[in-house]
Structure 1
Amino acid sequence: MSSIQEDGRARRRAVTGIKDSLRDLRAQLSLLNHRVSTRLGLRDVDLDCLELVQKQGPLTPSALARLAGLHPATLTGVLDRLQRAGWITRSRDPDGPDRRAVLVHAAKDRAADVYALYAGMNTAMDDLLAGYSDGELALLADFLERTTRAGRVATEDLTAD
Structure 2
Amino acid sequence: MTSEQDLPADVLERFVGYARESSALTILFHTQVAERMGLSPTDEKCLDLAMRAEGPVTAGRIAELSGLSTGAVTGVIDRLEGAGYVRRVRDPHDRRKVLVEVTVDKAGRYAHLFEGARGTLREVLAQFTPAELEVLDRYSRVLIETFRRRVIDA
TM-score interval, smaller chain = 0.7 to 0.9
**Distance in 2 (alpha carbons) for counterparts of 1:138 and 1:111:** 32
Contact 2:56 2:101 in 1 (8 A): yes
Alignment of 1:145-160 (within 5 A): 145-156=141-152, 159=154
Structure 2's unaligned 5+ residue stretches are: 1-5
> How well do the aligned residues superpose, as a CA RMSD in angstroms?
1.9
Instruction: From the CA coordinates, give the structure whose radius of gyration is larger.
Output: 1
Q: Equivalent residue of 1:131, what SS?
A: coil
The structure in which a higher percent of residues are strand is: 2
Q: Equivalent residue of 1:70, what SS?
A: coil
**Distance in 2 (alpha carbons) for counterparts of 1:105 and 1:43:** 19
**Distance in 2 (alpha carbons) for counterparts of 1:150 and 1:78:** 26
**Distance in 2 (alpha carbons) for counterparts of 1:140 and 1:77:** 37
Question: Match for residue 15 of structure 1?
Answer: 12
Structure 1's unaligned 5+ residue stretches are: 1-7
Contact 2:65 2:152 in 1 (8 A): no
TM-score, length-normalised on structure 2? 0.86
TM-superposed deviation, 1:76: 1.6
Deviates more, 1:85-94 or 1:66-75: 66-75
TM-superposed deviation, 1:115: 2.2
Number of residue pairs matched by the alignment:
148
Q: Does 2:100 match 1:104?
A: yes
Q: Equivalent residue of 1:100, what SS?
A: strand
Question: Match for residue 132 of structure 1?
Answer: 128
The structure in which a higher percent of residues are helix is: 1
Q: Equivalent residue of 1:101, what SS?
A: strand
Question: Match for residue 139 of structure 2?
Answer: 143
Q: Equivalent residue of 1:90, what SS?
A: strand
Superposed structure 1 runs of 4+ greater than 6 Å apart: none
TM-superposed deviation, 1:153: 1.6
Q: Does 2:67 match 1:34?
A: no
TM-score, length-normalised on structure 1? 0.82
| Equivalent of 1:62 in 60, 63, 73 | 60
| Equivalent of 2:85 in 67, 84, 87 | 87
TM-superposed deviation, 1:63: 1.4
Deviates more, 1:127-136 or 1:24-33: 127-136
